[in-house]
A = this chain, B = another copy of it.
Amino acid sequence: MAIESVVHKVGLLGGGVIGGGWAARFALNGIDVQIFDPDPQAQRKLDDVLANARRAVRKLVMPALPPEGTVTFVATPELAATGTDFVQESAPERLELKVELLRRASTAAGADVVIASSTSGLLPSRLQAEMNHPNRLVVGHPFNPVYLLPLVEVCGGSQTSEAALDRAGVIYESLGMRALRITKEIDGFVADRLLEALWREALWLVNDGVATVSEIDDAIRFGAGLRWSFMGTFLTYRIAGGESGMRHFMEQFGPALQWPWSKLTDVPELTDELVDRLVAQSDDQANGATIRELEALRDDCLIAVIQGLRTVGYGAGEVLDRYEQQLFDRTEIDSAAIDIAQPIRIYERSVPTEWVDYNGHMNDSRYLQLSSEAGDRFLRFIGMDGAYLASQRSFFTVESHVHYIAQCRAGDRLYVTVQLLAHDSKRLRFMTIMCRGDDDTVVASAEHMMLHIDTSIDRVSATDPVIIAKLDEIAVFHRALEPPKQTGHGLGPLP
């Protein structure tokens, strides 16, 4: 399937934070863009957004992106719309300004070219009022940053055709977005009503001196915000209702709606009809999934999100990081207690879900990851700490040989021993043996050759004598042991 066939050239009205984000999303999908924006700083601002977007989207997606589309500034809204097969308006939220821009663009765009507005909450029926062919006006309301967030609300006005709404949906989805059709036109649509409700409550909390902006943000990002990244409030509450689901939840928390738990005390009456509707829609949403299944899905998503944030070291990821450090400290290698007369049991961890591949077992590359993590611990044990790295010295691996011996499953506890095989001032060679904690089955081995590197010039250099002394101390014992049978093994000549 060819994404490029959906649209080839788009016109943008406005190139600010939102318009620039659109420009990036289109261009990075190989689509040419022409922009009208009267701001004298527009080009510079757009270049900044494009630079951010290029960096981010290339990091986000694994496959290669198509060749980037061109981005050209033009002098009028008419020129922006000319010769395009889609137009997106992202001007400031002033009705008369948007109406005029859309009118002008509609005189220049082909009659069947869909024209979308990024408005956060103005009604499409009013936006299309002055247009040629108003039936092709849709709201396509995105979220910042447009080049990363998938959501776009798609909503028509009284004159909008179904065909225009469908076409906008197809175009947005071809860009990697999630088009959410809003069937009833209201101020603020759906997403912004929810955001605005939370925002207004938050402003009251600051106004009343209850909490600071930072505390309010923390109250979201360490709690419900983590759930909201993959499940909305309704599905979350269905799960919270436990085995009896949504009806039970409404019975249990319905009374709280009457309590002053938000500034909005004008709440809908929980009539039987409304509760029935909530329950029926919630059943549809769950689509037969049991509470246990939904709990497992919720938990897997939370784990994935928090572990993802751990790689950035921010928010809940930072909390996890600190917690794991506490746990490591409890099981930290006590250097004095280590018996260096034997292969050193240096590391243990469990197999996370994402290490399992289509064969249902731990992917081959994860054995090397496990061995590499154990190797890092061994390096720390022999003295390669943060200060050593800061002095621009490190060990780089030059060869690894892995033998895969037994399969591992998600949740298996594994431990790793390290046996020093050889070292001199510049080289370090050791073998890791990976074992299952339950029964000490050997699941894999990996032999590594490392070089000591001066990282300021990326050249081989002499290891610090303190580390050499530690290695010498270990070698007295480890060289006296039988080398593991995998030592030195290669696959040998071709048959």
Contacts and interface: CB of A to CB of B under 8 A. Distances in A.
A267 B52 CA distance: 35
A117 interface: no
Contacts of A483: 494
B224 A232 contact: no
Interface stretch (A128-136, A185-193, A338-346): A185-193
A389 B252 CA distance: 47
Contacts of A368: 364-365, 368-369, 400, 402
Interface stretch (A159-167, A203-211, A464-472): A203-211
Number of copies: 2
Nearest to A283: B213
Interface string A77-107: 0000000000000001100000000000000
A399 B444 CA distance: 10
A305 B309 contact: yes
A302 interface: yes
6 contacts: A55-B411, A60-B303, A149-B222, A186-B210, A193-B262, A217-B235
A213 to B, nearest CB: 4
A278 B206 contact: yes
Contact of A1 (B65, B329, B429): B329
B404 A399 contact: yes
Which of A64, A174, A253: most chain B Cβ within 10 A? A64
A61 B93 CA distance: 45
A174 to B, nearest CB: 7
A401 B403 contact: no
Interface stretch (A7-15, A68-76, A108-116, A310-318): A310-318
Interface residues of A, number: 198
A309 to B, nearest CB: 6
Given A59-B411, A121-B259, 5 more contacts: A59-B303, A150-B222, A230-B315, A359-B389, A368-B400
A331 B263 CA distance: 53
Contacts of A259: 121, 187-188
B202 A64 contact: no
B234 A230 contact: no
A300 B310 CA distance: 11
B120 A256 contact: yes
A216 interface: yes
